[in-house]
Structure 1
Amino acid sequence: MTETPLRVMVVDDHPMWREGVARDLTEEGFDVVATADGCASAAARAAAVRPDVVLMDMQMPDGSGAVATAKVLEAHPTARVLVLSASDERDDVLEAIKAGALGYLVKSAQRSELVAAVRATGDGQAVFTPGLAGLVLGEYRRIARSPAPDTPTLTQREIEVLRHVAKGLSSRQIATRLEISPRTVENHVGAALRKLQLGNRVELARYAIEHGLDEEQ
């Protein structure tokens, strides 16, 4: 049975770059379902075509990539946003992640790196240009606060699973590390989502990072 290709939308205000990236991804087997050149058009098209992955620039005429990311996720909450930007400035990276982006890649990346990053993002993994992941984790740890007293209690196994989710590992990889079945991993993920009232693995990973659960105890 042929695997369904990832549905991708490319958002960038530069036509040549936008179409070039879309062409490259199509040649690599992705289904590029839409392109957009700004915040408003990105949100509208995401709602219409419901892509799996949104490749997002940080500079657009009607707002930043962070604003566009928030708008896209409001219109299509299950989308996974990967920023592809010329900027590796700290503020741009943090704004994008806080808006809901799953990863951040600079435009100097090789085509093979971009292809791998899009595939990983589609699998729910956080992908960063080398050096940026530490910046993001460091910032979340700096602002991390203790859970409120009424925060639901997670089991030790759920915390172990969350720790690996925060590192971007797939259910199969987590299962191998913890010597349990992938189905059991998914059961723990589902239980944590219900307890914490979160919508998906991206939010779960962010929760784990914010509360320091991604660090080895």
Structure 2
Amino acid sequence: MSDAALRVMVVDDHPMWREGVARDLSEEGFDVVATADGCASAAARAAAVRPDVVLMDMQMPDGSGAEATAAVLAAHPGAHVLVLSASDERDDVLEAIKAGATGYLVKSAQRSELVAAVRATGDGQAVFTPGLAGLVLGEYRRIARSPEPDAPTLTQRETEVLRHVAKGLSSRQIATRLSISPRTVENHVGAALRKLQLGNRVELARYAIEHGLDQE
């Protein structure tokens, strides 16, 4: 997705910071379609303007960033939420990811890091400040050690596809590795989404990581 087509919304309760980030992203060629200062306004504006990427603070006057993330994704499921927070506390990071955020960046990041993170988030990649990715993966693997009862059964091929999704490969790359067509890959991805009752490829990758498939 090109920067010009990437629609971004900035959510932060500090006006100067919010407008500064919005200005920086606009200068870099992103289309900043809205800003918001809280959970309720973020959800309402996400529904109205349908951004591709939402930059989300973790502290809001009417709730947490995790609550705002969940509200935004309920209002516009197609959005990708990238947390931009002063906090790198374990609980904040995990709550944000559990609420549906695809990445987490601390506010001390350089402008170039932020721009690259927004771009990657728009492409559906998971982006983390160095050190936080390991924390998140470690937590998912800890959870995965306790098997879920009545877990859906995937076919061998669906599991193979899921393993490559967990490693961040595109449908075309997966198709090449498995010697099948990209359409067949998408069919397997769709079947896995239905069986696991997940909404999109990011959630599917998260499920695969939780179950250690990226290590196989």
- Answer whether TM exceeds 0.5 for this pair: yes
Is the 1:146–1:211 Cα contact (8 Å) retained in structure 2?
A: no
Moved more, 133-142 or 69-78: 69-78
- Contact 1:53 / 1:82 at 8 angstroms: preserved in 2? yes
- Percentage identity across paired residues of the two chains: 93
Q: How does 1:1-217 map to 2 (within 5 A)?
A: 5-144=5-144, 148=148, 150-178=150-178, 180-216=180-216
Describe the SS at the equivalent of 1:126. coil
Q: Secondary structure at the match of 1:214?
A: helix
| Contact 2:3/2:30, CA 8 A, preserved across alignment | no
Q: Deviations over 1:76-111 (max 9, x none)?
A: 122111101111111110010011101101111122
Contact 2:125 2:168 in 1 (8 A): yes
User: Does the 8 Å contact 2:56/2:65 carry over to 1?
Assistant: yes
Runs of at least 5 residues in structure 1 that lack an aligned partner in the other structure? none
Q: For the residues of structure 2 that align with 1:28 and 1:137, how far apart are their CA atoms?
A: 31
1:100-124, Cα deviation, whole Å (9 max, x unpaired) = 1011011111222111111211111
Helix, strand or coil: the match of 2:2? coil
1:27-63 C-alpha deviation (Å, 9 max, x unpaired): 2221111000111110111111111111101111111
- Structure 2 unmatched runs, 5+: none
Distance 1:93 1:152, change over 3 A: same
Q: Distance in 1 between matches of 2:111 and 2:207?
A: 31
Aligned residues: 216
Deviation readout 1:117-163 (Å, 9 max, x if unpaired): 11211111111111111100100111125555643322233223222
Q: Structure 1 residues 127-136 or 177-186, which shifts more?
A: 177-186
CA distance in 2, matches of 1:143, 1:8: 32
- TM-score relative to the length of structure 2: 0.90
